[in-house]
Amino acid sequence: MKIFEIMAKEGHEQLFFNYDRTTGLKSLIAIHDTRLGPALGGCRMWNYDTEEEAVLDVLRLSKGMTFKSAAAGVDYGGGKSLIWGNPATDKSEALFRAFARYVEALKGRFSTGTDVGTTYNDFIVALKETKYVGALPAEYGGGGNSGIITAYGIWKAIKAVAFELFGDDSLSGRTIAVQGLGKVGFHLVEHLMEEGAKIVACDINPDYIKAVVEKYPQIKIVDTQDIYDVECDVFSPNALGAIFNDQTIPRLKCKGIAGAANNQLAETRHDKALAAKGILYAPDYVANAGGLIQVCDELDGYIKERAFRKAAAIYDRLLDIFARARKDGVTTDEAANRMVEQRLQEISSVRRNYIG
């Protein structure tokens, strides 16, 4: 791999390789951009096939965190960490304490927390070796289940999409297609039902479906492959990424999109495909920033009301993006990217002066 060429092209600052001979820990920490502040990003534990796959994943994910942080209006940069291993068989107290010591060695340049393959319990262990950990349970000073605030932000995003489309953000009587009823989707449904929305939903997990239907029997459940064909006002993807592609976009019968799934566009060009169909897309890294906002607030000493007030700002941020897209004649995804770049440049320029 030509790692330095990749870093130069994508704008990365640092890539750390960490190995602990006692535990066999193999870990990477990537720091993409710290112009706004110290890097922040979760720790993914995954059994990668090759070193190259692991490096490319941590570099890609860390860049995504730069955009998400900048769009959320927080003063943190983008980073990501990973532990190369099987989360079902390779975890131990010693492994996560060894990993945490490498995080601590960066002295606050990078903070981390849960991601795919890691849990609260892993980072309760990590706390023994570093304070640069977020996404913790309430009893450890954290905000608890981040799916709750993420769902709150998605609800605000759907309302912003409705306002842009219909001139009224009420969801009463609106049909929302919810893809995924897990950590975020379940709580999103609660907000939507309180507003009187009509919900068509799906999930691959029958237990998730059962939990939602027991509480809201009026919800219509469809097969996971049929959700794309549902005629609705807003489609809300809250499961897998890369779901909007050459096969699914022609099938969509929605007017707008807003959901919590990461990397919803299979390729960047698919923002234009959505726009060509007249579908208003709320860029995923803007809409789903609730969890990030909670973690950032934890690092400052978690106050629930403050965190949810910041998450509520997703509504106005999206309206600004929609307005900018109209004004500049670009897609909403491109408008969001331009907004991010503008904030990165402006704030870093403001901070160039020495103030003692």
Q: Residues 225-238, buried b or exposed e (16+ Cβ, 10 A)?
A: eebbebebbbbbbb
Please tell me the distance from the alpha carbon of residue 237 to that of residue 261, in angstroms, as a whole number.
6
Whether 80 sits among the annotated catalytic residues: the reply is yes
Please tell me the distance from the alpha carbon of residue 338 to that of residue 281, in angstroms, as a whole number.
16
Question: In this structure, what are the phi and psi dihedrals at residue 264, rounded to the nearest 5 degrees?
Answer: -65, -30
Residue among 63, 68, 80, 255 flagged as catalytic: 80
Please tell me the distance from the alpha carbon of residue 303 to that of residue 218, in angstroms, as a whole number.
35
Residue 251's contacts (CB-CB under 8 Å, 6 or more residues apart) are 228, 229
Please tell me the distance from the alpha carbon of residue 257 to that of residue 277, in angstroms, as a whole number.
12
Q: How large is the greatest C-alpha to C-alpha distance in the chain, in angstroms?
A: 62
Which structure tokens are listed for 217? 């029997």
Please tell me the distance from the alpha carbon of residue 128 to that of residue 97, in angstroms, as a whole number.
7
Please tell me the distance from the alpha carbon of residue 60 to that of residue 6, in angstroms, as a whole number.
10
Total residues found in the chain within this entry: 356
Please tell me the distance from the alpha carbon of residue 147 to that of residue 151, in angstroms, as a whole number.
6
DSSP states along 254-280: -SEE--S-SS-BSSTTHHHHHHHTT-E
Please say whether the beta carbons of 73 and 285 come within 8 A.
no
Partners of 328 in the β-ladder: none
Residues marked active site are found at 80
